[in-house]
Amino acid sequence: MRDVPLCNPLLDVEAVGFQLWPDQAIAGVMITPWMMKLLLVDPALEHRRLGDVFHWSCPGAALPMTVEELPEFGRLAGFSLFSPMDRFHSQKAARFAAEGALTALQGAETADSSGAPPAPQTMSAPGAVGRRGLLRGLLGGGS
């Protein structure tokens, strides 16, 4: 895929933050030069058809996940965060955005003691976007 025009030559393939979630699924973000995707690995996906869309509920959101399959790996579900990856000017910026998405999904953005909703968070790494924009698939940050 390196020679495909939609690839960002500044980026590499990297798995970010894969960990066990409370519902016994493993989730994390996969960065590639052509896309960034939240991936969910769960044995329950074996009972779903390829292409099925379901909502995965986690503390920070309920996301529409699409059932996919990787040869020699099996079923998983994905939610596209970015494609193409031309807005990222470094691997560090892409990793920063991936980590921000995972933090937001874990429910780190909570109301303060006044009950007011949290202020929008923006990321300052070059080429990164705001967490809220990240989860909405917007480029350029902000909500």
Domain ranges of the chain: 14-136
Which position has the higher pLDDT, 120 or 93?
Answer: 93
Q: Please state the three-class secondary structure of the chain as a single string.
A: CCCCCCCCCCCCCEEEEEEECCCCCEEEEEECCCCEEEEEECHHHHHCCCCCEEEEEECCEEEEEEEEEECCCEEEEEEEEECCCCCCCCHHHHHHHHHHHHHHHCCCCCCCCCCCCCCCCCCCCCCCCCHHHHHHCCCCCCC
Task: Give mean pLDDT, residues 74-89.
Answer: 95
Q: What is the pLDDT of residues 106-119, one digit of tens each?
A: 885 443 434 443 43
Is 42:55 a contact under the CB 8 Å cutoff?
A: no
Among 14, 43, 42, CA closest to 27: 42
Residue 18 clears pLDDT 90, i.e. is over it: yes
Which position has the higher pLDDT, 130 or 89?
Answer: 89
- Residues above pLDDT 70, as percent of the chain: 71
Assigned superfamily of 14-136: [NiFe]-hydrogenase assembly chaperone, HybE (3.30.1460.40)
Q: What is the pLDDT of residues 56-68, one digit of tens each?
A: 988 878 899 999 9
Is 93:101 a contact under the CB 8 Å cutoff?
A: no
Among 35, 32, 40, 13, CA closest to 102: 40
Angle at the Cα of 83 from the Cα atoms of 81 and 86, rounded to 5 degrees: 115
Which position has the higher pLDDT, 133 or 122?
Answer: 133
Q: What is the pLDDT of residues 23-64, one digit of tens each?
A: 778 999 999 999 999 999 999 999 999 999 999 988 878 899
Angle at the Cα of 49 from the Cα atoms of 45 and 52, rounded to 5 degrees: 90
pLDDT at site 22: 79
